[in-house]
Amino acid sequence: MSETVLVTGAAGFLGSNLCRALLDAGQAVRAVDNLSQSTMLNVEPLLADSRFRFAREDVRDEVAMRRQAEGASVIVHLAAFKIPRYGNALDTLLVNTHGTESMLKAAAGAKARLVFASTSDVYGKNPRLPFTETDDLYLGETSVKRWAYATSKIFDEHLCFAYQQERGVPVTILRLFGAYGPGQNRTWWGGPQSVFIDAALRGLEMDVHGDGQQTRSFTYVDDTVDGIVRAMLSARAVGEIFNIGNTRPVTIHALAEMVWRLAGTGEPKIRRVSYQAFGRYEDVRARVPEIGKAREVLGFEPRVDLEEGLRRTISWQRSVMAREGSLR
């Protein structure tokens, strides 16, 4: 039987891919997004489906979110502001914390389950690799605004568990690692691979922050969406935290070289950008998930390797840029 799933941040990269997968699986989808960091282009192909309903609303609007949640059995809360490398830490803190509490209140009123999208950034500067869900969370100084994102998500995780304990809202927390793929935001908001692909296709320099030896685990969007859907469907996932990500790390410098090999011509054009360009900024040296818990409980297994995922993403990004007339 078809159930109704409410997805926040639905017009964003991850949200639109999730909505498509849910519709393909026979679910009805209510999609919410204020379009501040996303575009209707991501969901326009879904609007013709009678099971898909889109509303341009802000997750912080508690009255609107209660209305949207009526009749939904599951809420997948993806809407968030990200690391304020270029942006405003206050927006990140307020949008993320107020938005999550608003959705928890909506879930309580609708007697719905809430799946919350957290982030690998909560592990911060913990030197222990790979990260397990029970590892301690190490953040930097509060005067360094890049930690605002991780701080907001840690607070949100506490809020989820508090609402589960005190308001009876079933929650599942997913710490997502480096999702990328077709539909991704093509600025730094979408991750380094987004801007590397854009630069390579234009024949421009790729900006690598710091020394480029920091490592990350990038997860193709289909794998990330699969993890989210598996968590939604699993009764054993209630009250649990799961790492959802690819376990094979790559340095940012190697990522830039790979993107250039797949999308550029000639020798790679790589420019180092000091972290001083962002004021007081700290980066993490390594970010790799341990996914044994997700494997055992959810049956989750990432399938798409980085090079294949980048090929698919480059093909999509090239087609978008060609339509825009922005290719060199």
Query: Among all residues, which ones are annotated catalytic?
Result: 149
Whole-Å CA distances, 45 to 34, 50, 52: 18, 12, 10
Residues facing residue 11 across a β-bridge? none
Which 3 state secondary structure label does DSSP give 138? strand
R_g (Cα) of the chain, nearest Å: 19
Nearest residue to 152 via CA among 95, 108, 216, 85: 95
Q: How many C-beta atoms lie closer than 10 Å to residue 299's C-beta?
A: 11
What residues contact 17, with CB distance under 8 A and at least 6 apart? 181, 182, 183, 221, 222, 224, 225
Whole-Å CA distances, 227 to 102, 233, 289, 301, 310: 24, 10, 14, 8, 19
What residues contact 28, with CB distance under 8 A and at least 6 apart? 2, 3, 4, 5, 51, 52, 53
Whole-Å CA distances, 304 to 72, 242, 313: 31, 19, 12
Helix (H) or strand (E) holding 124: none
Nearest residue to 39 via CA among 59, 18, 13: 13
Count Cβ atoms within 10 A of the Cβ of residue 308 and give its class: 0-12 exposed, 13-18 middle, 19 or more buried: exposed
Helix (H) or strand (E) holding 232: helix 221-233
